[in-house]
Amino acid sequence: MSNATELTEDNFKDTVASGVTLVDFWAEWCGPCKMIAPILDELAADYEGKAKIGKVDVDSASALAQEFSVSSIPTLLLMKDGEEINRFIGVTGKSDLAQAIDGAIA
C-alpha cells in the first residue's frame, strides 16, 4: 500500500490548496511510473507532517492531466499553496526531489 495520497478531481484542489505537495501524474501501465513509486513512498514517509505526496492516475483523472498540460508520465509537480513551483518529467532521483521539497518548505 502506498504512503502517498490518491488524488482525484474531487479532492485535488483541497489537498494542494495549502502547504507543499508533490503530485505524481502516473498510470498503472507505465513502466517508469512503477520505477519511481518506491521513491515517492519513501518521500511520503520522510516528509510526513511537513509536505504531502499525492498521486493522480491519469486514466481516471484525465481532466487534471489536461488542466496541468501533462503530456508524458511520470510527471511530478511540486506545488506550494495551490501553485505549481517546479516540474519534473520522467524518473527523478530521490535526492533531487527531496532537495526541491526542502527548498519549497524553507
Q: Is 50 a catalytic residue?
A: no
5-105: CATH, from 3.40.30.10, 3.40.50.300, 3.30.420.10, 3.30.70.20: 3.40.30.10
List the domain boundaries for the chain: 5-105
Measured CA distances, 53 to 11, 23, 44 (Å): 13, 6, 5
User: 33, 73, 76, 100: which is the annotated catalytic residue?
Assistant: 33
pLDDT in tens, 38-77: 999 999 999 999 999 999 999 999 999 999 999 999 999 9
| pTM for the predicted model, two decimal places | 0.95
Mean pLDDT of the chain: 95
User: 3, 5, 30, 34: which is the annotated catalytic residue?
Assistant: 30
Q: If we measure between CA atoms, which residue out of 19, 26, 33 comes closest to residue 65?
A: 26
Q: Is 92 a catalytic residue?
A: no
Amino acid at 40: L
